[in-house]
Amino acid sequence: MKFNEQIIDKIMSYILIIVGALMASFSVACILLPNSAIDYGTAGIAIIISKLTGFNLSLCVLVVFIPFLIAGYVILGRNFSIRALVGSIAYTVGLEVFEEIPFELNTEHFLAVVFGGAILGAGLSLILRHGGCIDGSEIFANIVVRKVSDITGKNFSMSYMLIAFNACVYTAVFLLINRNSALLSLLVYVVATIIIDHYTDHFEAIKQVTIITKNTDDLIKEIKEKLNKTCTIMDSYGAISGENKTLICYINYFELQKMKEIISHHSGTFSTVTTIDEIIK
């Protein structure tokens, strides 16, 4: 029964990733681009290339994303890459389809962009909550933060990397397209980020996973092998279960899906996830 539930959950997660990708592509193709705004991250880079060269937009999005997808496969693993690939294919197909649909919001650019940014943020939230990704900037930030953490032994948030990456994108929009597009696109980023933060609890922040279990050795070994993370171990006692061990591990949002898979392999565990804004050493 548990195996069947896991299969159903996995299928539902892929369906919701596809729904989120289609929402994002609808927002970009039918609302943002017609109102002189663009998406952010690597999708924003692809849109700039498409506007300057006249190349097909969906093809530009896919070509720009592929190097990041390959890097994600090498660093973040197969399961993440499959979900990212499914999301990116749905996103590019959605762009191709929605660009051909006559749709117009008869309202001010400002209101249209706010509405489009909200739909984009909702779509991206669905994707992120189910372990997917359609933007290379998040993969890039995750890889850089992981490498820096491996070198320094400290956990870092992805926020600064994402801000720096998108600052470069909007500077390019300002210089290569026009200032109005840059400002409207910045508004898209603000609105979408607010929506994403609300539904994913600050996905760019560090996550603390607390696991209560009786069998620690195999669990710690798997966390070390698959995530290259260590754990803090504390003795604990349950009113019903008796003596336990409490494990505390710090990961980022893109490692959370893999952590859930690891925990699911070990019966008799109870775990919680909380958001950590800062770690002081």
pLDDT in tens, 88-108: 999 999 999 998 888 777 677
Examine residue 75 and state whether it is found in any structural domain, yes or no.
Answer: yes
**Same domain for 249 and 177?**
no
**Same domain for 148 and 254?**
no
**Looking at residue 103, what is its pLDDT?**
77
**Looking at residue 152, what is its pLDDT?**
74
Examine residue 220 and state whether it is found in any structural domain, yes or no.
Answer: yes
Last residue of a domain, one of 155, 181, 200: 200
pTM above 0.75, yes or no: yes
Per-residue model confidence as pLDDT tens digits over 39-63: 888 999 999 999 999 899 989 998 9
**Same domain for 128 and 236?**
no
- Least confident span in 19-33, 65-79, 100-114: 100-114
Number of domains in the chain: 2
Percent of the chain with pLDDT over 70: 97
The residue segments making up the domain with residue 240 are: 206-276
**Looking at residue 268, what is its pLDDT?**
81
Examine residue 158 and state whether it is found in any structural domain, yes or no.
Answer: yes
**Same domain for 213 and 247?**
yes
With a cut of 70, say whether residue 3 has pLDDT above it. no
Examine residue 15 and state whether it is found in any structural domain, yes or no.
Answer: yes
Examine residue 229 and state whether it is found in any structural domain, yes or no.
Answer: yes
Examine residue 160 and state whether it is found in any structural domain, yes or no.
Answer: yes
**Looking at residue 281, what is its pLDDT?**
65
**Same domain for 227 and 120?**
no
**Same domain for 185 and 234?**
no
Section 133-143 average pLDDT: 85
Per-residue model confidence as pLDDT tens digits over 201-256: 777 778 899 999 888 888 988 998 888 888 889 988 887 778 888 999 988 887 88
**Same domain for 50 and 133?**
yes
**Same domain for 135 and 217?**
no
Last residue of a domain, one of 145, 180, 200: 200
- Report yes or no: 247 and 214 within 8 Å, Cβ to Cβ: no
Examine residue 281 and state whether it is found in any structural domain, yes or no.
Answer: no
What band does 1 get if pLDDT is binned at 50, 70 and 90?
Answer: very low
**Looking at residue 175, what is its pLDDT?**
92
**Same domain for 269 and 151?**
no
**Same domain for 62 and 123?**
yes
With a cut of 60, say whether residue 2 has pLDDT above it. no
**Same domain for 254 and 272?**
yes
Percent of the chain with pLDDT over 90: 34
Per-residue model confidence as pLDDT tens digits over 163-194: 889 999 999 999 998 888 899 999 999 999 89
Cβ neighbours of 142 (radius 10 Å): 24
Last residue of a domain, one of 149, 172, 200: 200
**Same domain for 119 and 215?**
no
Q: Tell me the CATH number at 262.
A: 3.30.70.120
